[in-house]
Amino acid sequence: MSELKKYQQEIEKIMNDRTLTFWQRVDVLAKYAENLLDYPEGTPEEFYILDESREISDLHEGHGPIGPRYILPDYAKFMKEGSKFLRLDPPENLLEAVNSLLIFYRNAHSVTRFPVYLGRIDKLLEEFVIKEDYDKAKELIKWFLISIDRTMSDSFVQANLGPEESVTGNIILELMPELQNITPNVSLRYDPEITPDEFAKKALYSALKCANPAFALDKFYKETVGEDYGIASCYNGLLVGGGAYTLVRLRLGTISEHCKDSADFFENRLPLCVNTQLKFMDARIRNVVENRVFFSTDWMVTEGFVHADRFVGLFGLVGLCECVNNLMKKDGKEGRMGHDKEADQLGVRILETIQKAVNEHYCPYSYNHRFVMHSQVGADDDEGNSAGTRIAYGDEPELYEHLRNCGLYHHFFPSGVGDLFPFDETAFRNLDALLDIFKGGFNVGVKYMSTYLGNGDLIRVTGYLMKRSEVEKLKKGEAVVNQSAALVIGKSPERHLNERKVRSFDD
C-alpha cells in the first residue's frame, strides 16, 4: 500500500499543478502512467548504469512508447485522395484545403499529442491560393496559422517552405512577423540556385522579426535523406511517409568527465557508451514494432499516409564542445573547440569514431537497416552539455571562424544539425550582407542555420522557438498555452541562453 500511496500522491500533485493547463496535465499524467512500465525487453544492463550517470539520455520518450517518436505523414497524398477515416474528400478550394489540413493535424500525433510535421504548406496550398482572391487567401492563411499556434501548443510542430518562391510562401513570410506566433517552427528549404535572393531576404527579415524561418540546405538533405524528405520537430531531416522510431543520445561532455584522458575515452568509455546506446535503440524499436499496435491499426498507416519501411532510428549526441575541451585539459593541453585547430580536429575524430560504429550497426527495422546520426538540440537536464556540436554559448569565435567550425561537423548529421547566429538591429539595414553570410556558411559546409533578433521577444532556445514573455509568466506561476516554455524554466543560467554572442554589422 505504501507504494500505491506514493503513486497516488504524485498523481494528485500533477492534477493540481497550477502552472499546467488542463491538457498539459493530461499529457503529464499519461507519461507518468507509461513510466510505471519497465524499459523494453532487451535493454542492456549497462544502460541503467549509464542513464544513472547521465552519460546516455532516453530523451524523455518514456519506458514504453506507444508509437514512433516522429511521424511525417504524406499530406500530398491526403490532398489528392482525402481520407476515409476522417470522412474527408479531396479539397476543392482554399477554405476546404486549410480546414482539411487542420482536421488531419488534430488527429495526427508523434512523441507528443501534436504532429511534429505539417508538410510543405506552401506546396500544399499553392494551387488553391492562386485561384482565390488575394486578400481573401491571405485572410484564410492568417487564420490557418493562428489556429495552428493556438491549438498545437508545442514548439516542436514544424512546417516547411520552398525552395521555390510562391504566392503562398510570400503570404506566409509577410504574416509571420505580424502574428509573432511560436508555432509552427518553420524551415525554408534553401537552394541558392533555385531560391530567388529577394525571397530569401524576405525570409531573413521575417527571421529577425520572429525567429522564423530557419534555412535548410535543400541539396544536402535531398542527397543524404532522399528527394522526398521533410524537416520535422526542431530540424530533423526525415523521409515523408515515415519518420523516426526513436531518438536516444550520448551526453559527450558528461562521458568525458568519467575518463582519465583522451586515450581512456577512445579505448574504453566511448565504445561502451556507443554500443550500449545502439543496443538500447534496438530494444526500443523492436518494442514499438512488435509489441505495439501502431503499425497494424493506426489510421495513418492503414490509409497509406505512413509506411513502416520509411522510419529510421536517430543516434543523437550533445556536448561535443565540452567533451573536446575536457579531453584537451586532461591531456595537458590548453586549446578549446572553436579557437584551436587541434581541438577542432579532436572533435572531428570523435564524430568519425561514432559514425563508424553507427554505420556498421545493423537494425532490421530501420530504413536501409542503419541508424543515422543526429546533432541533438539539448534538453532541460543537460547541464554541462551544449546542444549538439555547438560551441558553448559565450565562447563563440568571430563569425567567419564560427561558420568554418560548423562546417567541420555538420556533414556527419543528415538527420539533423543546426547552429544559431543572432544579430542586433543593424541586420535590418544589411539584408544583402546577411544573405551573403548565409550563402558563405553553406559554402564552407554549414547545412542548417538560423537567426533572430538578439533582444527580441521571440528567440530560438535550441532548435525550437519560445517567447521570453511567456517564460516570465511561467516563472510567476501562471499557466501559458505553449507547453514548451517549461523546458526553459530553471535551466537558462546553466545553459547560458542569455550569453549567446549577438553579432552586429557595426563591428
Tens digits of residue pLDDT in 418-430: 999 999 999 999 9
User: How far is it, in rounded angstroms, from Cα 112 to Cα 277?
Assistant: 23
Residue 416, pLDDT > 80, answer yes
Q: Name the grid cell of 74.
A: 504524406
Integer Rg of the chain from CA: 22
Which pLDDT score, from 0 to 100, does residue 59 have? 86
Give pLDDT tens digits for 252-310: 999 999 999 999 999 999 999 999 999 999 999 999 999 999 999 999 999 999 999 99
**Closest CA relative to residue 125, chosen from 159, 169, 86, 85:** 169
Residue 11 lies in a domain: yes
Indicate whether 27 belongs to any domain: yes
Edge-to-edge strands, sheet with 117-120: 117-120, 158-161, 185-190, 214-217, 448-450, 419-420
Domain count along the chain: 1
454 with 502: CB under 8 angstroms? yes
pLDDT computed for residue 497 by the predictor: 61
Question: What confidence score (pLDDT) does residue 491 get?
Answer: 47
Place of cell 537536464: 381
Question: Which residue range(s) make up the domain with 5?
Answer: 1-36
Q: Integer distance in angstroms from the first to the last C-alpha of the chain?
A: 66
Give 228-238 pLDDT, tens digit per residue.
999 999 899 99
- Residues 184-205, mean pLDDT to the nearest whole number: 97
Give the helix/strand (H/E) hosting 356: helix 341-360
Strands 465-467 and 458-460: antiparallel
Asked if residue 111 belongs to a domain, the reply is: no
126 with 162: CB under 8 angstroms? no
Name every residue whose Cβ is closer than 8 Å to that of residue 100 and which is 6 or more positions away in sequence: 78, 79, 82, 88, 91
Rounded CA-CA distance 365/252 in Å is 27
The number of residues making up the chain comes to: 507
pLDDT tier for residue 312 given thresholds of 50, 70 and 90: very high
Residue 246 resides in a domain = no
Instruction: Indicate the SS3 state at residue 137.
Output: helix
In a domain, 314, yes or no: no
Q: What is the DSSP string of 143-183?
A: HHHHHHHHHS--TT-EEEE-SS--HHHHHHHHHHHHH----
Whether pLDDT at 463 is above 70: no
pLDDT digits (tens, 9 = 90+) for 66-109: 999 999 999 999 999 999 999 999 999 999 999 999 999 999 98
pLDDT at residue 493 greater than cutoff 70? no
